[in-house]
Chain A
Amino acid sequence: MSNPQQRKQQMSVLDRLQRYLPQLVIAPPFLLLVFFVYGFIAWTGIISLTNSRMLPTFDVQGIQQYVRLLAMDRWNVAFDNLLIFGSLYILFSITIGCVLAVLLDQRIRAEGALRTIYLYPMAISFIVTGTAWKWILNPSLGIESYMQKLGWESFQFDWIVNRDMAIYVVVLAAVWQASGFVMALFLSALRTVDEDIIRAAHLDGASTTRIYFGIILPSLRPVFLSAFVILAHLSIKSFDLVVALTNGGPGYSSTLPANFMYEMAFRRNQIGLGAASAMMMLATVAAIIVPYLYSELRAKRHG
């Protein structure tokens, strides 16, 4: 039998354990996160300052890899492609998604089925999307040959093998995949809009178009912002779609920075250059995410 004093001590150990339990549970994943995410970001940052080739070295040389990178045509093509791809992808996904959401919001029949049909592409992996669109757009297999077989001999749709147009094919496939998701995002937001607002606007004499574009969509600013941020970071890290659809070709005309990074770091034994391009991508993401987080957190503090 334990005397009361001993028991008191036992209790206090248990109490202490209970008090520190949350920290104890949180600590291991937190440390792993710090090490594997932020640790490796720092590691990549250091590597990008060295002239590592096949194996990493830690002999810091300065910014020469960045100078090399910015002088490479391949990188500049990839970065220009990112600008084209990113802006068109975001623009079309949001526009199409938004219009689909507004149309589906009209209390139509079979809405559930249609919603699933439009949302479904998001459930498919980029590799599958890329492969399917590769077949559809292949001039000798897909749309072009089909239309020609139907009798339209002069029909041409060969963007996928055209140096100047290949990146737009990537946009096409990516928009097909993402606009359903954007639609779901907008539809759920539209459903939270007070129906009385629409009624009031009807009584005020506004047309349905005017109600959507003048009142409802402007009040969905946070949803636009979320959609933008999600699509922006998706576009910057796009990699597999390009691999499956065009494999960066013809030549390197449709590569994106992520493909460039993979090519340099893991195929051409240019780890330093690859690391430098990875840091450039990180900076691009940060340029978008940081202002977003800042505005979100600030809004919460003021809210």
Chain B
Amino acid sequence: MKPKLKIVSSQKGAPAARAILEVEGLSKGFATNTNGAGRILVLNDVGLTVRKGEMICIVGRSGCGKSTLLNILAGFLSPDRGCVRLGGRPVDRPAPDRCVVFQEDALFPWLTVRENIAFGLKVRAMSRQEKEREVDRFLALVGLTEFGSYLPAEISGGMKQRVALARVLILQPEVLLMDEPFAALDAQTREEMQDLLLHLWAKLAHSIVFVTHDVGEAVLLADRVLLFEKAPGRVKEEIAIDLPRPREKDTERYYALCRAITSQMKRA
């Protein structure tokens, strides 16, 4: 049986009522040589909306501009045209209301797991005990209570990403931006991390923008999948994933959705 794919036009956008993150007409080009003579367009008129508590996955082949989009959302890059609004306010610089979990290991190697998680709290007006308690809570949430005093060099890749997750969740961002965070992990660890993310998401109810090139991962995690087109990058298709949660990977519906998106992706 063919699965029913809900294809929503990316141009119209979702109703802005409960939208937390809005992106409109975003374009970004890069100079191909240093004097700025040649430019290539990486993002062309990208628009999307993330609702409160929603998880969207941006899927596309490498080089389609999905990381550039995430960097703009985070405020690391500024767009040539268009705008990003978080809760109605324009976004123009990095801030703890939009935190990133990077693909690569981005922990501070001279700080212990505990100190890494506590890093962003330093500037907050909280008592020492309050901070310690928060760090304990998030260490426990990512299952690293025993490893607080370890240095990043002493723990595994999966554990590092748990720390990376904890150090941003502790800041209670309005939107969590994830840039292929599990791509460098082995298959088993990746599944553990996906479960952990879903568990934390159910508990803390963040809005999440998750970038991946792994269609299976997107179908497992997302409420909506945005399929990115390459060169210049833009949203080609928006697919609502209506699988009930908790989701099983080993089902006909799951595979059907994966197949459908993969074939769309090949045409992209």
Chain B associates with chain A: no
